[in-house]
Chain A
C-alpha cells in the first residue's frame, strides 16, 4: 500500500538523518499525502527514537526458567498498560488498544519467545526475533495487514523497553502549546490519549490513507500528512506549518506565512460552520445534499451533518451475514427505521447489490467468474432470483406506506433499456412509485436518453462508472491510478446522463465518492446533476463549497474540466474557475 515497509532486520540503522543533525532550514518544504484537511502550526515533537535492536549475540546467564518468567512479566505489563490506556481513552481507541493487548498476549508468540530463551537467547533478543517472524508475515500480506505492522512494532518496542530499562516510547499527554507530532508511523498506543489541545497536526513518514494516523486525525479533526519522506529528520522544536489538504509541510515558515495560514484556517472554519441548511449554490439553485448509509446505525451521523435525506441506502448489509434471506418483516422494520428518520425527506433505496464480489450464501453465483466486476451482479442477480427481488420490493412498499418520507427505489448495474423497463415494471407491481436506476455501466450513460424514458430518475455511481469506463478493476491496486472520476471520459459520461435526465424533466443524482469531493461536487452541479449523496462527514465541506459559487461558476468549472485532456488537468482547470475554494483551504 505505501511501499515503504521497513525490512524488519535492520530496524534502527535505516534512518540516516536523526537529530541533532536535523533539518530546520527556514522555508524548507517537505511533501507527503494530505489525509486530514486543515492547517496546523506548532513546534516539532519528533517521537522518541526507536528502541535499538537488541544485540544478536546476547545470551542470558543460564537460568532459562528465570529469563522466561522475566519475559512473561514484561509482556503482561505491556498488555495490561495497553488495556488501561484503552479504558481511559474509551470508544474506538479502546477497541484498537484491546486488539494490541490481544497481540501482546498471543500464545504462539509466547511459545516462540520461550523456545528461543531455552536455547540461551537473552529475553530482549528473543522478543525481537519472535515478533520479527509475524511482522514479516503481516508486511508481506500488504494492505490492511501491512498497516498493522506499526501496532506490532510498538508492542515489541514496549516489551524490550521494559526488559532493558529504556524509557518507554510515547507522546506527552500534555503540552504548553500544541505541537506537531512527527513520527515514522504512529501506533494506537501513541495516539489514544491525544487531544486537539495537545496536537496541532500529525506528520508521518509512513502509512497510507487507511493507517491509524489518518483515521484518528480525521476523527479528531486535526490536520495530518502521511507518507512524508524525511519528516523524522526535522530537528525537534523547529516550528512547522502543516497543510493537511495539499500535503505540504513547511519548516520554520516566516511569521507572515503562518499568520496567513492561521487566518485561512479560521476563515475556513467560519465558512464551514456558516454554511447550514439545505444545499444550494450561492445564487440559490437548490442541490439537495443527501447521505449514503448502510443501515439505521448510520442515521445519527447523517442527521448530525445535516443530510436532507438519503441518496443511497445500501441494503446488502441486511443480507450479507446470513445463511438465508432476511424475512419480509425483518426487512420492513430496517427500512422503516430509516424512512422515519427523514420525515418529508427523500430516501433512495438501492436494491440488493450482490454478486461474485459480494457473495451471499443463499444467492450462489452459477459459476466461478474470472472477472466478478463483469459478471452476474446487481440487477443481473435479481433476474436469476426474482423471488428475492419480489420480497425486497414488497417489504419496501409496506415500509413506505404511512411514512411521510418520499421513498424511491433504484437498481444497480443496469446496462440496457430492457433491464430498466423490467425493473420499473416490478416496482409498479409492488406498489412503489419512484423507480430509478443507477448509471454505472457506460452503455447506460451513452444511451441515457433511451433509458430515462423507462424510469423516474437516475443516480450515478461514479466508482463503478469509472472502473468500467477506464477498464480499471477497483480491486487491482496496480491500476488505481486510472480509478479517478476526474478523468474527462468519466465527466463526459456523467454529463450525458445528466442532460438526458434534464431534457426529460427528471432528476439525476450522484452517489459515488465523486460527490464527496467538494471541488468535483461543484463540477457535477455544473454538468446538471440535481442532487449529491455522500458519506456524512463530507456533507459540510460540499455544502460550503457549493454555497460559495454560483450555478454559472459551476458550469464554467464543468466546461473547463471537460475541455482538459487528463484527470489532473481537469481538476486544475475546474479549480481555476472556483475562487471560493481558497477560503476553505481545499
Chain B
C-alpha cells in the first residue's frame, strides 16, 4: 500500500476546480484510491461527493493511499494537484 500525506495549498481548499481535477485524475486508474483527513476515515478518491464532503480547507493535511500497478505515480500526481494553489 502506497501512501502520501500532503498539505492542501489551494485558497479554496479541496473544493471546486481542485477537487474536480483531483477526482478525475483518481478515476483514471482501475484500482481503489482513498483519501482521508489526517486521523479521519478514508473515502473513495474517485467520488467527487465524498471528497467535497470531507470539507478539506487550505492548509489542512490529507492522506491519500492506493495499491496497484502505477500507484506510486498516481499518488505523486494527486499529491501535486492537492499541493498546487
User: Which residues from chain A sit less than 8 Å from chain B, CB to CB?
Assistant: 95, 98-99, 102-103, 106-109, 134, 137-138, 141, 144-145, 148, 152, 317, 320-323, 358-359, 361
Contacts and interface: CB of A to CB of B under 8 A. Distances in A.
A107 B34 CA distance: 13
Given A317-B85, A361-B7, A108 B44 contact: yes
A148 B27 CA distance: 22
A99 B44 contact: no
Contacts of A107: 27, 44, 46-47
Nearest to B27: A107
A2 B64 CA distance: 33
23 contacts: A99-B16, A99-B17, A99-B48, A102-B20, A102-B23, A103-B49, A106-B47, A107-B27, A107-B46, A107-B47, A109-B49, A134-B49, A137-B49, A137-B53, A138-B49, A141-B55, A144-B15, A145-B15, A152-B49, A321-B85, A322-B83, A361-B7, A361-B83
Contacts of B7: 359, 361
Contact of A103 (B16, B48, B85): B48
B9 interface: yes
B53 A141 contact: yes
Contacts of A98: 20
Interface of B: 7, 9-12, 15-17, 20, 23-24, 27, 43-44, 46-50, 52-53, 55, 58-59, 83-85
Given A95-B17, A106-B47, A144-B12, A138 B24 contact: no
A320 B85 CA distance: 6
B20 A99 contact: yes
Nearest to B10: A321
A109 B52 CA distance: 13
A176 to B, nearest CB: 37
A321 B84 contact: yes
A373 to B, nearest CB: 14
A322 B84 CA distance: 7
A148 to B, nearest CB: 7
A321 B9 contact: yes
A106 B49 contact: yes
The listed residue with most B CB atoms (<10 A of its CB), out of A107, A317, A323, is: A107
The listed residue with most A CB atoms (<10 A of its CB), out of B23, B48, B53, is: B48
B10 A109 contact: no
A323 B83 contact: yes
A168 B16 CA distance: 26
Contacts of B53: 134, 137-138, 141, 145
A108 B50 contact: yes
Given A95-B17, A108-B50, 11 more contacts: A99-B16, A103-B48, A107-B44, A108-B47, A138-B49, A145-B52, A320-B85, A321-B9, A321-B85, A358-B58, A361-B83
Nearest to A99: B20
Contacts of B27: 107
Contacts of B50: 106, 108, 134
A245 B55 CA distance: 33
A359 B83 CA distance: 12
Nearest to A131: B49
